[in-house]
A = this chain, B = another copy of it.
């Protein structure tokens, strides 16, 4: 699959980091209490969704890079906004280091993510990103319902 890249490995990282930056700003917009208490339509709070995103991205990428299959689990649940933001930043740094250990040729190898999702690594990574965008879009509705203006979607 030697070809002219439609997107390079470094560009895909930049794209993901741009989304992580936007998601961080969405978390920041929530008042502390509302992050863990407010929801619509009997859905999870945005704090719970953030815990899911935290449990997927870096744990998933760690498994991919180290070739270690571990079950999905929200082992550490973060219950304050300050903790969530701290782990978010820490994971962003870890993500960059993990990314540097991936080679272009790895992206088409399959990996049994969380012992459940046996797909090419590129598919797993795109899922990490689109699942984040999906839930963050829901966070936008929560913010609007709270009368809070969300960040501009196109600012990464």
**A141 adjacent to B7 (CB under 8 Å):** no
**B8 adjacent to A141 (CB under 8 Å):** no
A contact residues, total (Cβ < 8 Å): 38
Closest chain B CB from A24 CB (angstroms): 16
Known: A2-B4, A9-B6. A134 touches B122 (CB 8 A): no
- In the complex, what residues of B have CB within 8 A of residue A71's CB? none
Closest to A107 in B: B6
Known: A134-B153, A141-B138. A5 touches B1 (CB 8 A): yes
**Copies of this chain held together in the complex:** 2
**B141 adjacent to A141 (CB under 8 Å):** yes
- In the complex, what residues of B have CB within 8 A of residue A75's CB? none
CB of A65 closer than 8 Å to a CB of B: no
**A6 adjacent to B8 (CB under 8 Å):** yes
Closest to A10 in B: B6
- Give the most central of A8, A12, A130, A144: most B CB within 10 Å: A130
Known: A137-B136, A145-B41. A122 touches B11 (CB 8 A): yes
CB of A76 closer than 8 Å to a CB of B: no
CB of A133 closer than 8 Å to a CB of B: yes
Closest chain B CB from A94 CB (angstroms): 20
**B7 adjacent to A3 (CB under 8 Å):** no
- Give the most central of A12, A43, A137: most B CB within 10 Å: A137
CB of A140 closer than 8 Å to a CB of B: yes
